[in-house]
Structure 1
Amino acid sequence: MKTARHPSVLKAATQDAVEASPPAPTTHQGPTLICTIVTADTTDAAVTEIREAEQFGADVVELRLDFLKDINLLDPAPTLKRLLDACEAVKLPAIITFRPAWEGGQFKGPEPLRLAVLKYAAVLGAHYVDVEYLAANFFFASEGEVPLSTKVILSHHDYDETPSDEILEALVGEMFKGGADIAKIATTAQQIEDSARMLALPGKSSGPVIALAMGEKGLTSRLLAPKFGGYLTFGALSPTQTSAPGQPTVTELRNLYRLQNQSAATQVYGIVGNPVSHSRSPALHNAALAAAGLDAVYVPLLVDELRPFLDAFPSFSGFSVTIPHKLAALECAEEADPVAARIGAANTLVRLSGGGLKAFNTDWSAAISAVEAALGGSRQGGESALRGKNVVVLGAGGAGKALAFGAIERGATVLVCNRTREKADALAEALGSGASAVEYAEVASGRVAGDVLMNSTSIGMHPREDESPVSAEALSGYGVVFDAVYTPLETQLLRDAKDQGCITVSGLEMFVGQAAEQFELFTGKPAPVDLMRQATLDSMHSS
């Protein structure tokens, strides 16, 4: 067996060739398991969490002995037996982990004692034990101490980065040569492209692999593990009980992302943005996909730069696009719908049969329709209620362009303001006659106003819920105030507008409307609009 190497040496070992793995491991063929981690600090609390794990729908439970304060390491049998009996009672296989501080765990005691406890857990019938790769030599030093009925997971954690593909593949190969039944690698995602590389790792291995990227940019590796053949993925019992950054809950994995239904053929859609954790798009779209009976899933995608992300996930079928990528979405598309091209921004990308992407903009019609309804709907003869109105648009980004374009299309006069005046000037010029730019401060203070105010900025969105893009006094002259922000449902801007006697239009209507159009572009099926609206509201009320 090879001598275990220090992590810094391991990362530098790119020149090491991956030798042939032993024949015993075979690529994982069964369903990807959902594991939850018990991190209670007492045995009583751990038993309670084991029962909760079964109730929430976990397939496996990982017992972190290093968190327990009441375990007697000189006589661990009572604690181990009680925990394993609790798992047996609810028919949950157990992974016994005793993570040392040098691998990110809590245990700071002697290694021989730690490894002896793990071996004893195996003797007592644990389905799995998790052993750090760098301790494998010592764990396997004496043959016959670990029964073959216990599967050994050799694990490696990198809390700084995701190493190169060459290092990752070499590490997996060495784990199997070193005695692993299952190889586990958890890295830190510095960008979402790292998640793509971790997802690909199980498919490159001769044996079962758990490959996960930590952090929000690594969330995709957890949500799509079944599609890419991962042995298991992790979910917390609740949002407050996560054991690693970016970890979803077991309930989300089962009910929202339907992991038990995913396969290699599952189509993937997602919301691309930064930030994106606040988005209700996964709740809305996954509900619609499930209702339509489609083998598809929709995931949040925290993206720094759009082009590298698109290159890293060429098999994904389509994307909703939000701040700040709507302009880049149009630039990255091989084709564009004429409306998106005219607006100069896209909120939807759909995969073409040849592999490229086509850009659409569904923002403008959803928002404009909601504002028209607030103004009383169409006039006699089908004329828009916006015709002849003075509309002030806050923001000149992708959403602002869509709102301004829609208002001009409906016959309104548009004033564009943006914190950077040059962007407002450029948008007004692009809109042509009927549009002009104005200083942001003029609108924010109320010195310039109109009939309708439409906010396309992110002010009022998490984490700026208590802020408004304009003063409350500035709203007194408007008849209708629309806010594209939909989380929270009633922003500070809308509260102020209501106090000033304005009719308010929540971003929820725009959100549901644009998503319904996206769903139809993605799937070719009619959108269940009422279901999508209710799913969004349910998601907002449950958070």
Structure 2
Amino acid sequence: MSLVVSASATEAAVEPSPLATSERGSILVCTSVIADTVDGAVTEIREAAEFGANVVELRLDFLKDIDLLDPKATLKRLLGACDAYKLPAIVTFRPEWEGGQFNGPEPLRLAVLKYAAVLGAPYVDVEYLAANFFFASEGEVPLSTKVILSHHDYDETPSDEILEALVKEMFKGGADIAKIATTAQRIEDSARMLALPGKSSGPVIALAMGEKGLPSRILAPKFGGYLTFGALSDSKTSAPGQPTVTDLRKLYRLQDQSAATQVYGIVGNPVSHSRSPALHNAALAAAGMDAVYVPLLVDELRPFLDAFPSFSGFSVTIPHKLAALECADEADPVAERIGAANTLVRQPGGGLKAYNTDWSAAISAVETGLREGESAEAPLKGQRVVVVGAGGAGRALAFGALERGAAGVLVCNRTREKADALAAALGDGAEAVDYADVASGRTTGDVLLNSTSIGMHPVEGETPVSAEALGSYKLVFDAVYTPLQTRLLKEAQEQGCITVSGLDMFVGQAAEQFELFTGKPAPVELMRQATLDSMQPH
């Protein structure tokens, strides 16, 4: 698409942006002001300054009380508030046809944006498809205002060829900064968007919307992005999958990232409930590591690993623990024996080595619980252990119970074939039983280990085993840690059982992962506290 370019726009595009590099601390963190009144917008500008944003986007299309016949007063007040808090402003007036709120005439909308530039707005955001109209008359936009040409795709992330061509056309069309926001259908789309700024000679904002696009927002500074967006709160996001400014600044230490920053992450589906980012980022910061740990919502493990070959290591959770072992270039002998891995560590040659830190953390927590009031050196010895779930975590728990001397391990799973396969893989001492028999109490044991996600947020009301079936167990362990007190554990306590929360397993396995990732001793108590803090309402 060929666009008409004004002389003023051409001159502005030649001038390099002072922050168009990937040097440490160069990223701009922008908050969109989306209040529907001018008074509310002024309040949000103040909050943006308090929360640590260093740019605000004034979304005029959200305002209900803007006087379009005379926008001067509104713009002056909003830009004045930005000046008072030393926050540069991006003035945006997004039309409905580009995903915004404004449905009025185009000439009026573009005139308001030009007037914002005349009043001294540092940036205006103009839709790429409206660029030829915006630049139709030369000299109307001061060179002091940077023009962001933007394009939003709410359906998908186009091919690399289309994305790269679009960025080039934006700069040809008068952009000082090119902005592309797409929708991530798969997490691999995040990788392609992260790579986009490095393929351009000018500053680029490249973001993928949705939870699978979150890495494109968190890791923008590492990959040379010009700007990333953070919301004032979870309820004030201006685009799907947008993190908060507070999380970007404090949890992911955005201002400390550089091209050299190592990246770790939690791979799973679902993954939004995970407290791993809180725990690992706190530990990495305490250790003084130039590293960040991010949530990664992954559909298929192999394509994901191929898309992010530079990442340094991964925690792996449901449903990818079996695939993690299959995708690894080499494996620790224990992980091979278990047949599942929850940890992948990048090796000096570039390959990935698989480990399993689940089993020792969980079994240690169970043994500690069984030792209450006893002094047994091997508290699981001679116990009849029932494991619910035959996935990666179930494999680790069943293996660990046999390793520590259990008299027998009964494995159940909603899909009986998976339980049969796990029992066969474990060999002597393991037996598959019907899930319905365990859930109802027809089959019982001494120790119950739940490895499934049943009862995990947001389905806290569910339980894998009925309350009536719990009375015969000495101890009940639940791998779920969100919430800390699951329905299973509450009902087990009422039946007089010793209960062990998944928190101990979670912190323990993560501490071992941290040491595998970094070679440094894990700050276990700090990691435990960071997990608990992250579970408090904000």
Q: What's the counterpart of residue 233 of structure 1?
A: 228
Between the aligned partners of 2:234 and 2:247, the Cα distance in structure 1 is 10
CA contact (8 A) 2:13 2:174 kept: no
- Is the aligned partner of 1:445 residue 2:437? no
Residue matched to 1:333: 328
1:92 equivalent in alignment to 2:87: yes
Q: Distance in 2 between matches of 1:83 and 1:307?
A: 48
Q: Percent identity among equivalent residues?
A: 83
Report the counterpart of residue 405 of structure 1 in structure 2.
Answer: 399
Question: 2:258 corresponds to which letter in structure 1?
Answer: S
SS of corresponding position for 2:400: helix
Mapped contact 1:56–1:250 kept (Cα < 8 A): yes
The alpha-carbon distance between structure 1 residues 298 and 441, as it changes in their structure 2 partners (threshold 3 A), is: same
Conservation of the 8 A alpha-carbon contact between 2:13 and 2:176 = no
Contact between 2:59 and 2:91, CA under 8 Å: does it hold in 1? yes
1:490 partner amino acid = Q
1:432 pairs with 2:424:
no
Aligned equivalent of 1:520 = 515
CA distance in 2 between counterparts of 1:243 and 1:151 reads 22
Aligned-partner Cα distance in 2 for 1:511–1:65: 45
State yes or no: 1:536 paired with 2:517. Answer: no
Determine if the alignment matches structure 1 residue 465 to structure 2 residue 442: no
Match of 1:28 in 2: 20
Aligned counterparts of 2:493 and 2:167: Cα–Cα separation in 1: 59
CA distance in 1, matches of 2:402, 2:40: 62
SS at match of 2:457: coil
Distance in 2 of aligned mates of 1:384 and 1:334: 35
**Code of the aligned partner of 1:28:** A
Local SS of the residue matching 1:55:
helix
CA deviation after TM superposition for structure 1 residue 433, in Å: 1.3
How many Å separate the matches in 2 of 1:48 and 1:24? 34
Structure 1 length as normaliser, TM-score?
0.95
- The letter of the residue matching 1:45 is G
1:166 matched to 2:158: no
Matched, 1:494 2:489: yes
Shift of 1:355: 0.7
Q: TM-score, normalised on structure 2?
A: 0.96
The equivalent residue for 1:386 is 380
Three-state SS of the structure 2 residue aligned to 1:384 is coil
> Aligned partners of 2:418 and 2:433: how far apart in 1?
11
1:111 aligns with 2:103: no
Q: Secondary structure at the match of 1:461?
A: coil
Whether 2:298 is the aligned partner of 1:303: answer: yes
Which residue type is aligned with residue 428 of structure 1? A
1:68-217, aligned counterparts within 5 Å? Answer: 68-217=63-212
User: Is the contact between residue 378 and residue 385 of structure 1 (CA under 8 Å) also seen in structure 2?
Assistant: no
Say whether residues 1:269 and 2:261 are aligned partners.
no
Following superposition, the deviation at residue 3 of structure 1 comes to 4.1
Cα shift at 1:430 = 1.4
Q: Quote the residue 1:10 is aligned against.
A: none
| CA distance in structure 1 between the partners assigned to 2:306 and 2:239 by the alignment | 27
For residues 384 and 317 of structure 1, the distance between their equivalents in structure 2, rounded to whole angstroms, comes to 37
Q: Which residue of 2 aligns with 1:259?
A: 254
By how many angstroms is 1:39 displaced? 0.5
- Residue 261 of structure 2 contacts residue 292 of structure 2 at CA under 8 Å; is this kept in 1? yes
Tell me which residue corresponds to 1:16.
Answer: none
Q: Does the 8 Å CA contact 2:220/2:227 hold for their aligned counterparts?
A: yes
Aligned to 1:313: 308
1:53 is matched with which residue: 48, 53, 71?
A: 48
8 Å Cα contact 2:3-2:173 kept in structure 1: no
Matches of 2:207 and 2:44, distance apart in 1: 23
Alpha-carbon shift at residue 426 of structure 1 (Å): 1.4
Q: Secondary structure at the match of 2:246?
A: helix
1:43 aligns with 2:38: yes
- Aligned-partner SS, 2:536: helix
**Shift of residue 462, structure 1, vs aligned partner:** 2.1
Say which SS state the counterpart of residue 73 (structure 2) adopts. Answer: helix
What does the per-residue CA deviation read over 1:428-468, in whole Å, with 9 as the maximum and x for residues that have no partner? 12111111111111100001111100000110112221100
Q: Distance in 1 between matches of 2:374 and 2:448?
A: 20
How many residue pairs align between the two structures?
526
State the 1:385 CA deviation: 0.4
Letter in structure 1 aligned against 2:84: A
Equivalents in 2 of 1:22, 1:36: separation in Å? 24
Structure 1 residue 389: Cα displacement: 0.3
Which runs of 5 or more structure 2 residues have no equivalent in the other structure?
A: 5-11
Write the distance in 2 (CA, Å) between the matches of 1:270 and 1:181.
34
- Structure 1 runs not aligned, ≥5 long: 5-20
Separation in 2 of the partners of 1:430 and 1:39? 56
Shift of 1:542: 3.0
1:407-441 Cα distance to aligned partner (Å, 9 max, x none): 00001011111111111111112111111111111
Deviation of residue 24 (structure 1)?
A: 4.6
Partner of 1:481: 476
C-alpha RMSD of matched pairs (Å): 1.5
**2: CA distance between counterparts of 1:103 and 1:55?**
30
- The Cα shift of 1:383 comes to 3.7
Cα deviation, residue 302, structure 1: 0.1
> Does the CA-based 8 Å contact 1:25-1:206 persist in structure 2?
no
Whichever residue aligns with residue 32 of structure 1, its letter is: I
Whole-Å separation in 2 of the counterparts to 1:429 and 1:306: 26
Change (3 A) 1:466 1:379: closer
